[in-house]
Amino acid sequence: AAGVIQSPRHLIKEKRETATLKCYPIPRHDTVYWYQQGPGQDPQFLISFYEKMQSDKGSIPDRFSAQQFSDYHSELNMSSLELGDSALYFCASSFWTPLEDTEAFFGQGTRLTVV
């Protein structure tokens, strides 16, 4: 079965550079979520999109922006990178229904290292 695809898997950037992370959701999933997991930390919610519109926002720095495109893939853009941005960035997708039984499926993550 198709899963959530994230690219790249690993990324090394220097301070003050920019980075773009991509997420391809499971086919027919209409909702995408981004999470940041720092070293030894639990994943923290950044932002989510439903049908290409931002649906929720968490602790996402102003230096970061994201969007969901017409094909439902999403990109997380990170500018003026700081050492503290080094983390594993997860994308998850789900298909929203009014029913209760929904769950998010996670990608393998993109490991960003800022040097």
Partner 1 sequence: AQSVTQPDIHITVSEGASLELRCNYSYGATPYLFWYVQSPGQGLQLLLKYFSGDTLVQGIKGFEAEFKRSQSSFNLRKPSVHWSDAAEYFCAVGEVKAAGNKLTFGGGTRVLVKP
Nearer to partner 1, 5 or 13 (CB): 5
Among 36, 48, 68, 74, binds partner 1 (CB under 8 A): 48
CB 13 within 8 A of CB 112: yes
Which structure tokens are listed for 99? 């029913």
Under the criterion CB under 8 A, does residue 34 sit at the interface with partner 1? Answer: no
Q: With CB under 8 A as the contact rule, which of the stretches 12-20, 62-70, 78-86, 104-112 interacts with partner 1?
A: 104-112
Q: What is the DSSP string of 31-54?
A: EEEEEEE-TT---EEEEEEETTEE
Beta bridge pairs of residue 65: 77
Beta bridge pairs of residue 54: 49
Taking the C-alpha atoms of residue 61 and residue 112, their distance in angstroms, rounded to an integer, is 16
Under the criterion CB under 8 A, does residue 51 sit at the interface with partner 1? Answer: yes
Under the criterion CB under 8 A, does residue 86 sit at the interface with partner 1? Answer: no
Under the criterion CB under 8 A, does residue 94 sit at the interface with partner 1? Answer: yes
Binding stretches for partner 1 (CB under 8 A): 30-31, 33, 35, 41-45, 48, 50-51, 55-56, 58, 90, 92, 94, 96, 100-109, 111
